[in-house]
């Protein structure tokens, strides 16, 4: 059964809250981090305070984790107080889940969010029954694609699928889904050109590379 607690520490007069992941959750986490190891990062708060740590993003739990001086794996809590989290060369913003910045185009950013499509994780009990909850599960296969499938051990139930959604973030950190309708709101002067470009190139705005092509084209119109 998963246990958690909040660790409060004062860092340069700022209260930095963490939630410790249990060993059960850690067994999921260890198999499903975005990065192969914890890497140097920096946490920026809306108050202007910052702190450095070795960080990683857990895809299964949708949490940013770090390891403290005691070797415990902790998760950032009170995400509403975060301005941005830098892990290596990547930037993460929090808006009902963590958004990873894919590219920046002048005042707009293309961001991605990966989340579970299933409502809960399940594990088979000793007699084959499905058990919902946060017991340890062992993820043994992960395909890093727009729609990633998770294959569990034969004696376990389905953990679910993971899907990547894309968003547009403006200079004020307002976030909207990366749809044609929302895209045109940011480039109203070039609506005919952009619609023609999308149709003539058969762009799929649920695909990262197609979104990048569209951003580059729209910016070229803006700069011409």
Structure confidence at residue 13 (pLDDT): 25
Phi-psi region of 87 (alpha: psi -120 to 50; beta: other; left: phi over 0): beta
Length of the chain: 224
**If you search the block for the tokens 């739990």, which residue do you land on?**
61
Structure confidence at residue 118 (pLDDT): 54
Question: Cα Rg for the chain, rounded, in angstroms?
Answer: 20
Structure confidence at residue 205 (pLDDT): 94
Spell out the per-residue pLDDT of the chain, length 224, in tens.
333 332 333 232 233 444 444 333 444 444 578 898 999 999 999 999 999 999 999 888 889 998 888 888 889 988 989 999 999 999 999 998 999 999 999 999 999 998 766 543 444 344 333 333 322 223 333 333 333 333 333 333 444 567 889 999 999 999 999 999 999 999 999 999 999 999 999 999 999 999 999 999 999 998 87
Angle between helices 191-200 and 208-223 (to 10 degrees): 150
Structure confidence at residue 72 (pLDDT): 85
3-state helix, strand, coil in the chain (%, to 5): 20, 40, 35
Helix, strand, or coil here: 138?
A: coil
- CB-based contacts of 159-163 (< 8 A; 24+ apart in sequence): 159/60, 159/116, 159/118, 159/121, 159/122, 160/116, 160/117, 160/118, 160/119, 160/121, 161/116, 161/117, 161/118, 162/59, 162/114, 162/115, 162/116, 162/117, 163/114, 163/115, 163/117
Phi-psi region of 138 (alpha: psi -120 to 50; beta: other; left: phi over 0): beta
Structure confidence at residue 154 (pLDDT): 35
- Residue among 54, 114, 59 at smallest CA distance from 88: 54
pTM flag (> 0.75): no
Sequence-distant (6+) residues with CB within 8 A of 137 are 27, 28, 121, 123, 152, 153, 156, 159
**If you search the block for the tokens 């920046």, which residue do you land on?**
104
Q: Which helix (H) or strand (E) holds 62?
A: none
Domain layout of the chain by residue ranges = 1-94, 118-159
């Amino acid at each position: 059964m998963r246990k958690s607690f909040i660790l409060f520490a004062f860092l340069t007069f700022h209260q930095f809250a963490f939630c410790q992941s249990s060993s059960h959750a850690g067994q999921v986490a260890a198999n499903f981090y975005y990065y192969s190891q914890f890497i140097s990062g920096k946490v920026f708060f809306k108050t202007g305070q910052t702190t450095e740590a070795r960080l990683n993003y857990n895809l299964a739990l949708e949490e940013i984790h770090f390891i403290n001086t005691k070797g415990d794996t902790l998760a950032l809590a009170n995400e509403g107080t975060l301005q941005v989290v830098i892990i290596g060369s990547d930037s993460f913003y929090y808006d009902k889940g963590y958004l990873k910045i894919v590219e920046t185009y002048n005042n707009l950013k293309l961001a991605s969010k990966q989340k579970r499509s299933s409502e809960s994780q399940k594990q088979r009990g000793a007699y084959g029954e499905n058990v919902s909850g946060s017991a340890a599960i062992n993820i043994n296969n992960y395909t890093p694609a727009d729609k990633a499938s998770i294959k569990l051990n034969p004696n376990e139930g389905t953990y679910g699928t993971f899907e990547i959604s894309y968003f547009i973030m403006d200079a004020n950190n307002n976030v909207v889904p990366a749809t044609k309708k929302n895209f045109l709101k940011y480039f109203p002067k070039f609506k005919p050109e952009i619609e023609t470009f999308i149709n003539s190139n058969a762009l799929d705005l649920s695909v990262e590379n197609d979104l990048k092509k569209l951003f580059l084209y729209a910016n070229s119109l803006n700069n011409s």
